[in-house]
Structure 1
Amino acid sequence: MPPRRSYDQYCSAARALDVVGDRWTLLIVRELLAGPRRYTDLHADLPGVSTDVLASRLKDMERDGLTARRRLPPPGAAYVYELTSRGRQLLPVLQALGTWGQAELGERRPTDAVRAHWFALPLLRALEGETGVVEVRLDEGEFHLHAGAGDGPVYGDGPAPGEPDARLAMDVATCTALGRGELTLRDAVRDGRVTVTGDGTVAKALRA
Structure 2
Amino acid sequence: MDRTYNQFCATARTLDLVGERWTLLIVRDLLTGPKRFSDFQNSLRGLGTGLLAARLKHLEREGLVRKVTLPAPARTPAYMLTEAGAELAPAVLALARWGMKWAMGERREGEAFHGGWAVLGLRACFDAEAAHGLRAMYEFRVGDEVFHALVQDGTIDTQHGPAQRPDAVIETDDEVLVDMAAGRTTFAEAVKERRAEASGDPAALGALYGIFRIPAPEERAIPGVG
Normalised-by-shorter TM-score class: 0.7 to 0.9
> Among residues 145, 149, 157, which one is paired with 1:146 in the alignment?
149
Gaps of 5+ in 2: 211-226
Partner Cα distance (2:83, 2:167) in 1: 26
Calculate the TM-score normalised by the size of structure 2. Answer: 0.71
Residue in 1 that maps onto 2:94: 96
Partner Cα distance (1:109, 1:204) in 2: 33
Contact 1:32–1:83, Cα closer than 8 Å, also in 2: yes
Calculate the TM-score normalised by the size of structure 1. Answer: 0.76
> Among residues 14, 27, 30, which one is paired with 1:29 in the alignment?
27
* Greater Cα offset, 73-82 or 51-60: 73-82
Residue in 2 that maps onto 1:43: 41
Which amino acid in the other structure matches residue 176 of structure 1? A
| TM-fit CA distance, 1:78 | 1.7
Residue in 1 that maps onto 2:82: 84
Which amino acid in the other structure matches residue 16 of structure 2? D
* Greater Cα offset, 24-33 or 75-84: 75-84
Contact 2:66–2:82, Cα closer than 8 Å, also in 1: yes
Contact 2:105–2:182, Cα closer than 8 Å, also in 1: no
Residue in 2 that maps onto 1:119: 118
Contact 1:134–1:160, Cα closer than 8 Å, also in 2: no
Helix, strand or coil at the partner of 2:13: helix
Output one character per residue of 1:75-95: Cα deviation in whole Å (capped at 9) or x when no partner. 534211011121111111111
Output one character per residue of 1:67-108: Cα deviation in whole Å (capped at 9) or x when no partner. 110224565342110111211111111111112222322221
Residue 176 in structure 1 maps to residue 181 in structure 2: yes
Going from structure 1 to structure 2, the CA distance change for 1:55 and 1:121 (only over 3 Å counts) comes to: same
Partner Cα distance (1:132, 1:80) in 2: 31
Partner Cα distance (1:200, 1:100) in 2: 32
Partner Cα distance (2:2, 2:38) in 1: 25
Which amino acid in the other structure matches residue 123 of structure 2? L
* Greater Cα offset, 48-57 or 98-107: 98-107
The number of residue pairs the alignment matches comes to 196
Gaps of 5+ in 1: none
Residue in 1 that maps onto 2:214: none
Contact 1:35–1:153, Cα closer than 8 Å, also in 2: no
Output one character per residue of 1:170-190: Cα deviation in whole Å (capped at 9) or x when no partner. 522563268xxx97x7xx38x
Partner Cα distance (1:147, 1:125) in 2: 14
Helix, strand or coil at the partner of 2:105: coil
Which amino acid in the other structure matches residue 166 of structure 1? A
Which amino acid in the other structure matches residue 126 of structure 1? C
Which amino acid in the other structure matches residue 181 of structure 2? T
Going from structure 1 to structure 2, the CA distance change for 1:154 and 1:15 (only over 3 Å counts) comes to: farther
Contact 1:166–1:198, Cα closer than 8 Å, also in 2: yes
> Among residues 164, 167, 181, which one is paired with 2:169 in the alignment?
167
Which amino acid in the other structure matches residue 58 of structure 1? L
